[in-house]
Amino acid sequence: MGTLGPLDPRATDAGSLAVPAEDATQIVLTFDDNRLASALFGQYGQNLALIERRLGIVANSRGNHVTLEGPREAGEQARRVLENLYERLKRGDELVPGDVEGAIRLALAQGSLFDFEAASARHAFEEINLRKRRVRARTPAQDAYVRALKRHALVFAAGPAGTGKTWLAVAHAVQLFERKEVDRIILSRPAVEAGERLGFLPGDMREKVDPYLRPIYDALYDLMDARIVERALQTTEIEIAPLAFMRGRTLSNAAIIIDEAQNTTPMQMKMLLTRLGENSHMAVTGDPSQADLPPGQTSGLAEAWRLLQGIEGIGQVTFTAGDVIRHELVARIVAAYDKADAARRARPE
C-alpha cells in the first residue's frame, strides 16, 4: 500500500522538514476506498495535522493518496498509524480524534518495527466489545487498566482527569451486565464534601446525587442505548448509591464503580471495600491531586492504595499526564500543574 524512498532535500518545498538526507524518507500511501480515505484524513485534514504535530513529519494528501515526509523512524510510525486506522475503518469502526491519538501512542510504544503489519497488530491494545460500540484502550496505561479489570475483582485506578479511568470502568461494567455475568451496576461517589451532606439539596435521592454523578451518566448513555439505561435505572438494575447509603450492604452479582475516591475518608473506604460480595467486581477511581478533604485528613484512596499493594486479586493502575486523552491541551495543562506542585514540594520550608 505504500512506497519508501530517500528524500532528496533539493526537492522539498517550504512545508517540508529540514532533515539530513541519510535520515530522511518519503512514503507514499494509497488507500483503495476514497470514502474511507476521506474519513481517515479527517475533516479538513485534521487527523493528518495531528499526526504531523505529534510525530514531526509533513503529510500531504491528494484524493486517496498521502505523502509522508520526514525522519525515517517518524515516517514509519506515521505509516503504521494510518494503516492501523484504515484497517479499523474497513471493519466499520468510527474514527474520532481520540482514536488517532491512541494509534499514535501505540506506534510510539512499539518503537521502530519496520516489519509491522497493521492487520496483525490492530488488537495490540485490549478491547471491550459492547452492543452499541467497541471500546479500545488508547494508551499503554489504559491497556493495563482494561487487562486488570478483566483479571481482578477489585481494581484501583489513580491519575489525573481525562485519562479514561471512569469511562473504561463503566464500559467494563456494561460489558459484564450485557453478558449477564452480573445482575446490576452500582454507581457511587462522595458528594462535594467528603461528609456527604446531601440533605440541603432538593428532590429525591437520585435528584440529590445526579449532579455529582453526571460524568458516569454521560458514559452510560455513550456506551448503552438510552432506552435501556432509563429502563435499568427504573428497575434499579443500574443503581445510584451514595456512599452514605452503602453501609451494612453486601453487594453480590454486581459491577460496582466508586468514582472520585480521593474524597473518601479511610473509614469510608474500608466500609466500601468490605461491601464486595460473591461474584462482584469493583473499580475504584480517583485523582489524588484533586482531593477536597479538609487539611490534614488522610485520603481513603491513598491509604487503601498503600495498604493493599501487592495483595493477590487486587489490581492497581497509575495514570499520568501522558495518558490524558481529551484535547491535547489538557495533557499540557496537567503537566504544567504537576511541575508546579513538584517545585512547591521541593522548596524548603
Tell me the pLDDT tens digit for each residue of 127-176: 898 998 888 888 888 989 999 999 999 999 999 888 889 999 999 999 99
Q: Which of 172-181, 186-195, 237-246 has the lowest mean pLDDT?
A: 186-195
Count of domains for the chain: 2
Q: What is the pLDDT of residues 65-121, one digit of tens each?
A: 999 999 988 889 899 899 989 988 888 877 877 788 878 877 877 665 444 444 444
DSSP 212: G
Residue 135 covered by a domain = no
Q: Please report whether residue 136 resides in a domain.
A: no
User: Higher model confidence: residue 203 or residue 303?
Assistant: 303
- What's the CA gap between 176 and 144, in Å, rounded? 18
Structure confidence at residue 202 as a pLDDT band (50, 70, 90): low
Please say if the pLDDT value at position 54 is more than 70: yes
Is residue 8 located within the same domain as residue 100?
A: yes
Q: Three-class SS of residue 72?
A: helix
Phi, psi of 92 (to 5 degrees): 95, 5
CATH number, domain of 7, equals 3.30.1370.10
Interatomic CA distance for residues 187 and 171, integer angstroms: 13
φ and ψ at residue 197, rounded to 5 degrees: -85, 90
My answer on whether 174 and 210 are in the same domain is yes
> Does residue 129 belong to any structural domain of this protein?
no
340 or 224, higher pLDDT: 224
Closest C-alpha among 115, 18, 124, 112 to residue 74: 112
Rounded CA separation 95/153 (Å): 31
Task: Band the pLDDT of 285: cuts 50, 70, 90.
Answer: very high
Which range of residues forms the domain containing residue 53?
2-117
The residue ranking higher by pLDDT, 194 or 140, is 140
- The whole-chain average pLDDT of the chain stands at 81
Cell numbers 469510608 label which residue? 268
pTM of the shown model: 0.69
- For 218, what's the count of Cα atoms within 13 Å in the CB-facing half-sphere? 8
Question: Rounded to whole angstroms, how far apart are CA atoms 260 and 189?
Answer: 6
Number of H helices, E strands in the chain: 13, 12
Highest mean pLDDT among 200-204, 291-295, 313-317, 324-328: 313-317
Do 152 and 97 belong together in one domain? no
In this predicted structure, the answer to whether residue 14 has a pLDDT above a threshold of 70 is no
As a whole number, mean pLDDT of residues 288-316 equals: 89
Q: Which of 11-25, 36-50, 63-77, 144-158 has the highest mean pLDDT?
A: 144-158
What's the confidence (pLDDT) of residue 290?
84
**134 inside domain:** no
